[in-house]
């Protein structure tokens, strides 16, 4: 295959991945709203409602406030949307591997643009949509949006520290204990699940559980969901950052938020639970005699099982980390949010690092 054909195929796959991920992310928001309504004994909107809302916004007029800086006000949502789309190209959106496929199809769900250092790049890309929202808020000329933008910057500076600590701790465990190369490549975590690494003792398990818990608590803040939605806070500052946005600009911000939801939950799954279900079902079928002991599941059946399992993992993680918390908790003040991430969660992350280190010393 020549270079031009390979690039064309990658572009086609990339466009398909982005379109499918957008659709899944909007459905995920609809499912989230439905579950939230169920927890609050309400009916809630249809699952497809976010799709109709977004399509309707693309048909509306963009209104630029008189005191806004037009190029920054209009450019911020576009850059946020582009950055969120780029995130999808560096994530394994689907099963880890497709056993039984040939001709390179077994690598369909590996990151399209993945490579050494893509994990670090992802951390930066995940920060861009929030940064663009802050810039858009400052550029709008609205005092409410300015307050929201200030809160967004404070939150970003707060949760980035424990997030970086978790990532660096896991990378250290790979390279200094197991000698795994390319520790800042997401594919490394997918192919070498951290829980299955040799030499992980009881202290290491507890350390990894602490790090996973810290990452779990970062998810709603990274996605700006209640009780960590101080930058928007509709009841206080009328939507904050996006108070002055409408039409296509608002639609791009909402799409960025939806896609970031799938991206960040997929990252959490890739780091902490990159397992497939088809091998377990295959073993069960062999034990009960439904298939021979030397027979494998049909590769299309295995693919269907694993893709459904991946979607269930995303929904379950989002339900536990976002839906349940936002239904059961009230919004926190920005000073409490900053303190929570800079002190307790950072200390917890460091405790996780210490447990991993002690596990190495004891082992």
Q: Is the pLDDT reported for residue 124 higher than 70?
A: yes
Q: Is the pLDDT reported for residue 205 higher than 60?
A: yes
- Note the pLDDT of residue 297: 64
pLDDT in tens, 170-190: 888 777 666 667 778 887 787
Helix-strand-coil split of the chain, %, nearest 5:
70, 0, 30
pLDDT-wise least confident of 171-185, 285-299, 349-363:
285-299
User: For 54-68, what is the mean pLDDT?
Assistant: 90
Boundaries of every domain in the chain: 3-362
Q: Is the pLDDT reported for residue 314 higher than 80?
A: yes
Q: How confident is the model at residue 296 (pLDDT cuts 50, 70, 90)?
A: low
Mean pLDDT over the full length of the chain: 82
User: For 200-213, what is the mean pLDDT?
Assistant: 88
Tokens of 64: 């630029």
Q: Is the pLDDT reported for residue 169 higher than 70?
A: yes
Strand ranges for the chain from DSSP E: none
Q: Where are the alpha helices (DSSP H) in the chain?
A: 3-39, 49-57, 70-88, 118-139, 143-177, 186-191, 202-222, 234-237, 247-272, 278-288, 299-318, 324-328, 334-340, 346-362
Higher pLDDT, 62 or 113: 62
pLDDT in tens, 143-164: 888 888 888 888 888 888 899 8
Q: Is the pLDDT reported for residue 242 higher than 60?
A: yes
pLDDT in tens, 323-345: 888 888 878 888 888 898 989 99
pLDDT in tens, 49-58: 999 999 999 9
What is the rounded CA–CA span in Å between residue 85 and residue 78? 11
Q: Is the pLDDT reported for residue 1 higher than 60?
A: no
User: For 116-132, what is the mean pLDDT?
Assistant: 86
Give the predicted TM-score (pTM) of the model. 0.86
What is the rounded CA–CA span in Å between residue 127 and residue 50? 23
């Amino acid at each position: 295959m020549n270079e031009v054909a390979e690039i064309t195929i990658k572009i086609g796959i990339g466009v398909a991945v982005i379109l499918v991920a957008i659709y899944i992310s909007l459905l995920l928001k609809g499912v989230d709203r439905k579950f939230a309504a169920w927890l609050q004994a309400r009916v809630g909107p249809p699952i497809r409602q976010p799709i109709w809302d977004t399509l309707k916004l693309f048909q509306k007029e963009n209104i630029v406030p008189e005191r806004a800086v037009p190029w920054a006000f209009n450019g911020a949502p576009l850059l946020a949307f582009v950055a969120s789309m780029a995130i999808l190209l560096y994530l394994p959106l689907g099963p880890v591997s497709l056993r039984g496929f040939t001709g390179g199809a077994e690598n369909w769900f590996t990151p399209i643009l993945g490579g050494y250092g893509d994990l670090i790049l992802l951390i930066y890309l995940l920060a861009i949509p929030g940064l663009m929202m802050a810039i858009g808020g400052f550029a709008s000329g609205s005092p409410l949006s300015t307050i929201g933008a200030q809160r967004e910057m404070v939150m970003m500076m707060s949760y980035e520290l424990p997030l970086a600590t978790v990532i660096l701790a896991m990378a250290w465990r790979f390279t200094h204990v197991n000698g795994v190369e390319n520790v800042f490549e997401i594919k490394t975590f997918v192919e070498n699940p951290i829980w299955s690494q040799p030499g992980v003792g009881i202290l290491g398990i507890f350390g990894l559980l602490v790090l996973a818990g810290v990452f779990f608590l970062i998810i709603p803040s990274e996605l700006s969901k209640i009780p960590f939605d101080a930058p928007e806070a509709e009841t206080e500052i009328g939507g904050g950052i996006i108070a002055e946005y409408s039409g296509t600009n608002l639609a791009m911000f909402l799409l960025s938020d939806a896609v970031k939801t799938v991206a960040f939950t997929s990252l959490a799954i890739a780091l902490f639970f990159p397992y497939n279900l088809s091998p377990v079902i295959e073993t069960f079928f062999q034990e009960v005699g439904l298939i021979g002991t030397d027979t494998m599941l049909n590769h299309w059946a295995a693919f269907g099982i694993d893709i459904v399992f991946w979607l269930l993992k995303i929904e379950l993680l989002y339900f536990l980390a976002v839906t349940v918390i936002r239904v059961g908790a009230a919004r926190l003040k920005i000073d409490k949010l900053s303190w929570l991430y800079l002190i307790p969660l950072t200390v917890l992350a460091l405790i996780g690092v210490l447990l991993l280190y002690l596990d190495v010393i004891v082992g």
